[in-house]
């Protein structure tokens, strides 16, 4: 197996504090693999710090902060490798974190993307919000994970230690086959940040690839390194990008109904923010809908373009047939294991 063809790419924006903390461990635990830092126009001396202290790390300087999607697309176009590892700067890796995933992907060429087990850096016995042990969506496009449903995070006791197919893999530590990545056009730069990995994974599934979790690889994620969970900007991006993802990738059957239903649920969420004295988040939801409408012609064009790909078929495999919002908040289903197995599409 040619592990020299693995490129570990860290996207950085004013993350010098994380690079100081985590880059030495990444270098130590990734022998034989090329490491890059793609810098999104940082102003905190990140590049100078790397060039001075880590000459074995290659820096790709990007002039502006163009977000996760465009930042990675720009950097990856300059890198030759069979596999990319898209790694957040606020991630602590462990020994042997690369090999189990690359071995799995090389054994099964249909696996286009895979993630490790993602645990919380600050509360290390628990799963981390951004990906836990593999991601899923429900029938209305709401994302959740093995080990995390909304803000309910499970303690890791080995209950999700099996390598298995999932719907999406986390962008905090995303292993992706380079050829497959470019086959579907890379990341969608309209997203800027948040949920672009779900869109990428769905597009990969639509042309016949699979997405996996390999828990034999373990990393620890700080989370919220660029936009924390209290940011109204993050609220805006999550609501807008979720609607775009559903519109681009869901089969035409029942799509209009589901979008209408989502708009109603989003309205309820906005009112909840308002009644909770969070007006910035209320307006973020409202603005996200107007932004979604503004981008709708582009989104529909991308949806149409997808269909011209060879072997294209809208995929719903490993989506949850139910409504995770109702199941979680009204029925009290806090854990992934509370969800019925026969409520997931197999194909």
Tens digits of per-residue pLDDT, 239-259? Answer: 999 999 999 999 998 999 999
> What are the boundaries of each domain within the chain?
3-221, 232-312
Q: What was the pLDDT predicted at 134?
A: 98
Q: Evaluate whether 111 touches 214 at the Cβ level (below 8 Å).
A: no
Q: What was the pLDDT predicted at 4?
A: 54
Q: What was the pLDDT predicted at 39?
A: 96
Q: Answer whether residue 125 shows pLDDT above 60.
A: yes
Query: What secondary structure does DSSP assign to 215-278, as a single string?
Result: EEEEEEE---SSS-TT-HHHHHHHHHHHHHHHHHHS-STTHHHHHHHHHHHHHHHHHHHHHTT-
pLDDT digits 0-9 by tens, 275-285: 999 999 999 99
Q: Answer whether residue 321 shows pLDDT above 90.
A: yes
pLDDT digits 0-9 by tens, 149-171: 999 999 999 999 999 999 999 99
Q: Evaluate whether 115 touches 173 at the Cβ level (below 8 Å).
A: yes
Q: Tell me the percentage of the chain whose pLDDT exceeds 70.
A: 97
Distance CA 171, CA 237 (A): 15
Other Cβ atoms within 10 Å of 171 Cβ, number: 28
Q: Answer whether residue 227 shows pLDDT above 80.
A: no
Other Cβ atoms within 10 Å of 109 Cβ, number: 12
Q: Evaluate whether 38 touches 9 at the Cβ level (below 8 Å).
A: yes
CA atoms within 13 A on the CB side of 300: 8
pLDDT digits 0-9 by tens, 20-53: 999 999 999 999 999 999 999 999 999 999 999 9
Distance CA 153, CA 260 (A): 30
Q: Answer whether residue 226 shows pLDDT above 60.
A: no
Q: Who's near 313: CB < 8 A, 6+ residues apart?
A: 206, 208
Topology, domain 3-221: Spore Coat Polysaccharide Biosynthesis Protein SpsA; Chain A (3.90.550)
Give SS3 for 52.
helix
Largest CA distance in the chain: 57
Within the chain, where are the H helices?
A: 16-28, 46-53, 67-76, 99-107, 178-183, 196-206, 232-249, 255-275, 279-306, 324-329
* Banded pLDDT at 1 (limits 50, 70, 90): very low
Task: Record the pTM.
Answer: 0.95
- How many residues does this entry show for the chain? 347
Q: What was the pLDDT predicted at 317?
A: 92
Compute the mean pLDDT over every residue in the chain, rounded to the nearest whole number.
94
* Assigned token pair, 113: 């993307």
């Amino acid at each position: 197996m040619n592990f020299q063809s693995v490129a570990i790419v860290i996207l950085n924006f004013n993350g010098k504090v994380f690079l100081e903390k985590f880059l030495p461990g990444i270098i130590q635990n990734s022998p034989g693999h090329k490491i890059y830092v793609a810098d999104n126009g940082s102003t905190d001396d990140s590049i100078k710090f790397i060039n001075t202290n880590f000459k074995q790390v290659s820096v790709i300087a990007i002039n502006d902060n163009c977000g996760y999607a465009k930042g990675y697309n720009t950097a990856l176009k300059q890198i030759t490798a069979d596999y990319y590892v898209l790694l957040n700067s606020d991630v602590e890796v462990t020994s042997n974190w690369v090999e189990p995933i690359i071995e799995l992907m090389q054994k099964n060429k249909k696996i286009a993307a895979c993630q490790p087990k993602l645990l919380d850096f600050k509360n290390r016995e628990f799963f981390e919000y951004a990906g836990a042990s593999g991601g899923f969506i429900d029938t209305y496009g709401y994302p959740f994970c093995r080990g995390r449903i909304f803000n309910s995070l499970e303690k890791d006791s080995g209950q999700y230690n099996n390598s298995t197919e999932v719907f999406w893999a986390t962008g905090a530590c995303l292993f992706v086959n380079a050829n497959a990545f470019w086959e579907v056009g890379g990341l969608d730069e309209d997203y800027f940040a948040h949920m672009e990995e779900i869109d990428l994974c769905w597009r990969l599934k639509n042309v016949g690839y699979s997405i996996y979790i390999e828990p034999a690889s373990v990393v620890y994620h700080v989370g919220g390194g660029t936009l924390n969970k209290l940011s109204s900007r993050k609220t805006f991006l999550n609501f807008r990008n979720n609607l775009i993802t559903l519109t681009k990738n869901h089969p035409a059957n029942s799509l209009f109904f589901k979008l209408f239903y989502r708009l109603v649920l989003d309205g309820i969420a906005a009112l909840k923010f308002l009644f909770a004295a969070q007006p910035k988040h209320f307006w973020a939801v409202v603005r996200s809908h107007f932004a979604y409408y503004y981008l709708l012609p582009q989104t529909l064009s991308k949806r149409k373009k997808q269909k011209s790909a060879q072997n294209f078929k809208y995929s719903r495999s490993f989506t949850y047939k139910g409504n995770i919002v109702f199941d979680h908040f009204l029925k009290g289903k806090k854990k992934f294991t509370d969800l019925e197995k026969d409520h997931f599409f197999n194909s």
